[in-house]
Amino acid sequence: MGTTTSLTADDLTFLRRPLHGFFTVAAGPHPPQPRPVWFEATDEGHIELFTGPGTSKIRHLVEVPRASLVVAAPVGERERWVSVAGHVEIVTTGAHDLAARLAARYWDLDDPARARDLADIQAQDWVRLLLQPDAVSRYAME
């Protein structure tokens, strides 16, 4: 186990798999409410995800722009996880492109139902969240 301020090459390899992350925003007096999310780890070492502009995530992030993402290996693999905590920037551009990349990563878009699901996503308004790591913790069972 270790803690750093940035993602390692090994972290990026792990995070680029089609795994779900659990995203938690700083919620003030309310208990944290982690949500499963699609995400992308960038070459710059940031985490990106998308959400609706009117969600509770956005309302909380406007008040306190801090969040964390925890990603764990699936059942059947050796225990491993990466946790990223830091400042979140709300970006009004690029969310649809991110959604398309993530849909291709998580779904078989040759499936007509999934292609329709993506079209439905693309028809909605989204914002992009950019999580900039302040602390990265990790564990990998040897």
Contact 47, 69 (CB under 8 A): yes
The full set of domains in the chain, from first to last, is 2-140 (2.30.110.10)
**Coil, strand, or helix at residue 42?**
coil
> Using the 8-state DSSP alphabet, how is residue 16 labeled?
T
Give the DSSP H/E element, type plus range, for residue 124.
none
Q: How confident is the model at residue 1 (pLDDT cuts 50, 70, 90)?
A: low
For residue 28, pLDDT beyond 90: no
Q: How confident is the model at residue 31 (pLDDT cuts 50, 70, 90)?
A: confident
> Using the 8-state DSSP alphabet, how is residue 90 labeled?
E
pLDDT digits (tens, 9 = 90+) for 68-100: 999 999 999 999 999 999 999 999 999 999 999
Contact 95, 53 (CB under 8 A): no
What distance in Å separates the CA atoms of residue 96 and residue 126, rounded to the nearest whole number? 7
Q: Give the global pTM.
A: 0.91
